[in-house]
Amino acid sequence: MSHLQSLLLDTLLGTKHVDSAALIKIQERSLCVASPGFNVMPSDVQTLVNGFAKNPLQARRGGLYFKGKDYRCVRADEYSLYAKNENTGVVVVKTHLYLLVATYTEGMYPSVCVEATESLGDYLRKKGS
């Protein structure tokens, strides 16, 4: 298991309020690592990268289509994108090199998912990643 995958499993899934997580390389627009069973398709990678490459306000207004679901965007700025669909959601945090993606499902606390994902994003930015 790689160091990055260990970070995902320990700091995100370890909270029990993150269902799945992944790191996407921004420049290559490709999946770097993901939690077991979390298959992020190339079209989903493109959607997330575009959410930051374009004006984040567009994502805020238009929402997000991710893994076959339409999500209502509740936050979109230079470093963070939060979107929800009923009782599920996706949190995306941008670092220098990566997009950190975390999802939560019904019964999980979105605020814990957000806090854990933002904290890991801050850690990766400080490390230059």
* 26 pLDDT above the threshold of 90: yes
* 54 pLDDT above the threshold of 90: no
Note down the domain range covering 101: 3-127
| pTM exceeds 0.85 for this model | yes
The model's pLDDT over 79-101, given as tens digits with 9 standing for 90+, comes to: 999 999 999 999 999 999 999 99
Q: Which residues of 67-80 are buried (b: 16+ CB within 10 A; e: fewer)?
A: beeebebeebeeeb
Taking Cα atoms as reference points, which of 66, 60, 59 lies closest to residue 24?
A: 66
* pLDDT value of residue 80: 94
CATH of the domain at 11: 3.30.450.30
Confidence of residue 1 (pLDDT cuts 50, 70, 90): low
Would you state the structure tokens that stand for residue 79, as one six-digit string? 């470093």
State the CB neighbour count (10 A cutoff) for residue 40.
20
Residue 127, SS3?
coil
Mean pLDDT of 52-67: 82
Mean pLDDT of 41-61: 84
Higher pLDDT, 4 or 126: 126
Report the domain count for the chain.
1
